[in-house]
């Protein structure tokens, strides 16, 4: 269900409304020109404008019918082209004719970008788009009358309400995805809990009861408690956005210092969870292979990427040690660190050497996470 929701756009029906409006508005513009064709001094100019409108209607129909085309830059391009076509109508009437009430061949077709901007940018986007379209029409007319005020009010209300509806729909979609993700996570946790209880927990309990080594008995008891606590903790839902800085600061201990900007570094929740897990794995390696070493974690956000550096003052890793560990079945570095960053489209670079400590440089592209 989560995978299905991830690929479903609940705004798609509203986009189909905008596309249908653009097509119907073009048909109405053609019918309007045909009905009032005697009010035009010639046929070439209005037909050329109508043809250009038809071409652009096809372009925006194709764009708005796909998720990739439902972006701010496309709606701004739509707005720009629409204003240019509105300006082109100057060639359809003699100078000053629009100020005397001559028909504008584009008709209500020009309202399309305002509706699209409302869907992309919400209430404010719809308001801006409506005001730009109205300002262009008013500049063409050269005056503001009762009819112009009525048209502005109608256009603003329509675009703003559509934008508000889009915002509410996005919030509902996010809530639905969170609920579906929580349900799936809970089901998976229950499945894993049964498997762990029937295997690992029973082994740990047996070691704790029968172990002859006091230290081994203590470690088994600690791990049993930790594992039971993990299984009873509510599921983590990686939906929406999360502050990477806050997540990393939770890893701070007396031996681990975490530094980063005061302002939030918002990334997709899944990205934040994966990066935090990679950092946790790097710190776990320090504890395991360099006991007593001090570690530092620094977060460095940039415009197009985020860099996390994990460094310790341990003895470092000898050359060739990692390939040997991987052949022995230890895949923590390859899977838990490098694999996670690769799945996110980023990179994990290791700087180390005997006596030089260990430093991981984790780079994550911001992309659409911002």
CA distance 162 to 114: 10
Q: What does the H/E/C string look like for 122-157?
A: HHHHHHHHHHHHHHHHHHHHCCCCHHHHHHHHHHHH
Is domain 240-370 given the CATH code 3.30.565.10 in the classification? yes
Query: Are the C-beta atoms of 140 and 98 separated by less than 8 Å?
Result: yes
CA distance 201 to 195: 9
pTM: 0.54
Q: What are phi and psi of 62, to 5 degrees?
A: -65, -40
**Token duo for residue 142:** 């050269």
Q: What is the pLDDT of residues 320-362, one digit of tens each?
A: 666 666 665 555 566 678 888 888 889 989 888 787 888 999 9
Percent of the chain with pLDDT over 70: 76
Query: Are the C-beta atoms of 53 and 17 separated by less than 8 Å?
Result: no
- CB burial of residue 298 (10 Å; 0-12, 13-18, 19+): middle
CA distance 133 to 155: 9
The helix (H) or strand (E) run that includes residue 300 is strand 295-301
Q: Say what the pLDDT of residue 196 is.
A: 59
Q: Select the more confidently predicted residue: 219 or 11.
A: 11
Q: Which of 279, 284, 236, 288 is nearest to 258 (CA)?
A: 279
Query: Are the C-beta atoms of 104 and 137 separated by less than 8 Å?
Result: yes
Among 43-47, 157-161, 351-355, where is mean pLDDT lowest?
351-355
**Token duo for residue 129:** 């788009």
Sketch the domain layout of the chain as residue ranges. Answer: 2-174, 199-237, 240-370
Q: What is the pLDDT of residues 257-306, one digit of tens each?
A: 999 998 888 888 889 989 998 998 888 888 877 888 899 999 999 888 99
Decide if pLDDT at 366 tops 70: yes
Q: Say what the pLDDT of residue 3 is.
A: 47
Q: Say what the pLDDT of residue 370 is.
A: 45
Q: What is the mean pLDDT of residues 123-142?
A: 91
Residue 126 CA, chain-centre distance (Å), reads 21
Q: What is the pLDDT of residues 219-246, one digit of tens each?
A: 666 666 656 655 554 444 445 678 898 8
């Amino acid at each position: 269900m989560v995978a299905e929701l991830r690929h479903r756009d609940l705004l798609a029906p509203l986009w189909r409304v905008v596309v249908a409006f653009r097509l119907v508005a073009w048909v109405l513009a053609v019918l309007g020109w045909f009905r009032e064709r005697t009010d035009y001094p010639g046929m070439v100019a209005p037909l050329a404008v109508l043809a250009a409108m038809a071409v652009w209607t096809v372009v925006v129909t194709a764009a708005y019918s796909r998720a990739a085309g439902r972006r701010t830059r496309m709606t701004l391009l739509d707005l720009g082209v629409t204003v240019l076509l509105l300006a082109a109508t100057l060639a359809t009437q003699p100078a000053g004719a629009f100020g005397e009430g001559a028909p504008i061949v584009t008709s209500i077709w020009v309202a399309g970008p305002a509706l699209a901007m409302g869907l992309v940018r919400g209430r404010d986007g719809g308001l801006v788009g409506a005001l730009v379209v109205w300002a262009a029409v008013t500049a063409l007319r050269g005056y503001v009358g009762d009819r112009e005020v009525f048209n502005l009010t109608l256009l603003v209300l329509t675009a703003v309400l559509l934008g508000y509806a889009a915002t509410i729909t996005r919030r509902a979609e996010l809530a639905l995805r969170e609920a579906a993700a929580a349900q799936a996570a809970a089901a998976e946790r229950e499945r894993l809990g049964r498997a762990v209880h029937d295997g690992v927990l029973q082994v740990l309990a047996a070691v704790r009861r029968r172990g002859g080594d006091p230290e081994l008995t203590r470690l088994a008891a600690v791990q049993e408690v930790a594992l039971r606590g993990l299984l009873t903790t509510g599921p983590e839902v990686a939906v929406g956005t999360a502050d990477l800085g806050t997540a990393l600061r939770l890893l701070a201990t007396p031996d681990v210092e975490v530094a980063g900007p005061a302002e939030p570094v918002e990334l997709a929740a899944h990205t934040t969870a994966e990066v935090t897990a990679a950092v946790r794995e790097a710190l776990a390696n320090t504890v395991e292979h360099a006991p007593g070493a001090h570690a530092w974690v620094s977060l460095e956000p940039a415009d197009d990427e985020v860099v996390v550096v994990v460094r310790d003052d341990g003895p470092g890793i000898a050359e060739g040690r990692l390939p040997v560990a991987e052949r022995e079945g230890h895949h923590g570095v390859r899977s838990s660190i490098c694999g996670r960053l690769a799945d996110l489209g980023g990179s994990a670079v290791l700087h180390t050497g005997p006596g030089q400590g260990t430093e991981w440089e984790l780079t994550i592209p911001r992309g659409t996470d911002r």
